[in-house]
Amino acid sequence: MTVRRLTDARINALKPGKSVRHVRDTALTGFGVRILPSGKKRYFIHTQREGKRIWKSIGDPDRMNLADARNVARAALAAIRKGQPAAASPDESLFEVVAEEVFRRYARHWKPSTLRVNRGYLRATILPGFRGRQIADITRTDVRGWFLSLHETPAAADRAAPVLSVIMAQAEVYGYRPGNSNPCKGLRRYRRKGRERFLSDAEIRRLGDALSRHEPDRPLLTAMVRLLLLTGCRSHEIRTLQWRDVRDGRLYLRDSKTGPRTVWLSSSSRDVLTRLPRTSRWIFPSPQSEGPVSETAVSRFWRHVRSDAGLKDVRLHDLRHTYASVAVIQGETVPAIGRLLGHDDAGTTLKYAHLAEATIRDAADVMGAVLEGAPP
């Protein structure tokens, strides 16, 4: 960040770069100008109060000269020091503008894949409901009305709501909304049937038979599916495994959904790995590139296997649910299951507690044997 005494001439001469640039004013601490890659410029104030950073845009150099901007900035900074809210420029506090700022500044908290998905929900599900609104004016009633309007697409509503909540929470942090005013708090998600699909004893047998039939032609992908069911890992965690991640009977996941974690391997899962060739640093290498097998190839293989097994409604992620269900039946505690699955929230694990039913009791005894091709 550059620091210099700003003048109207210097501001006019500032050129955009590939990323956002900030130039602070030496004449007024906490005041400066931001230059966007598009060439647009914004006056801003940046300060702290009670340990929280406050960053506000206060005007456009195309519409406000430097002297007026300094006066607005000085008044805003004084208000913040007194604990009073500092008004933001109307065009800068529109929902879509603040949402874009949140995505730019908050992106480091999301994995790249999560960022892409969340941006998709912002574009398709959230913006149609709030574009053009002042973010400070959006109430809990507005959010509930938006959520209810999505009743025909409950899955999209449930996934978009947490994204909206992050936007609102960060809007408080950035000073666009009062503290503790998140209108998404207390929003109850839709209850949908079939969200936690798990395999019964008979279904596990059918899956084992189908995998055995596909193994001669696709041994690596077959092994990957076996590992998913035997470890409870997420698909991308197994798909991107490298041989260096396997040590001392454990998987050391470098970048799981909740951060690095260790997965203990059962004898059956160790046997699956032992039988695989080491032709690449990747355990499941792509035949077309230097990287791991593609997500598309895995999905295509799974569609063939589940169709062959008569399990057309089963997602690959449901193998993780099945693993958790078996752990429940075997008497594992919620904290232990949470550690096995890599959950960082006990509430996420508790949803499996209701799965302790007779239909999956036998699955705990036969799963490993069926997948290994041995008689139960």
CA atoms within 13 A on the CB side of 221: 23
Residue-wise pLDDT for 293-332, tens only, equals: 998 999 999 999 999 999 988 888 888 877 766 655 554 4
Per-block average pLDDT, block size 10, for the chain (376 residues)?
89 84 92 83 83 75 90 89 66 82 90 87 94 86 94 89 94 76 89 66 89 94 92 87 91 72 84 93 92 92 94 86 62 49 49 46 48 50
Residue-wise pLDDT for 84-108, tens only, equals: 765 555 556 789 988 998 999 998 8
* pLDDT of amino acid 362: 44
Beta strands across the sheet bearing 259-264:
246-247, 250-256, 259-264
* pLDDT of amino acid 46: 83
Long-range CB contact pairs, 90-94, < 8 A, 24+ = 90/134, 91/60, 92/42, 92/56, 92/57, 92/58, 93/134, 93/135, 93/136, 93/176, 94/131, 94/132, 94/133, 94/134, 94/135
* pLDDT of amino acid 135: 86
* pLDDT of amino acid 196: 63
Cα separation, 206 vs 222, whole angstroms = 14
Cα separation, 189 vs 186, whole angstroms = 9
| DSSP structure class, residue 247 | E
Tokens of 69: 């901007």
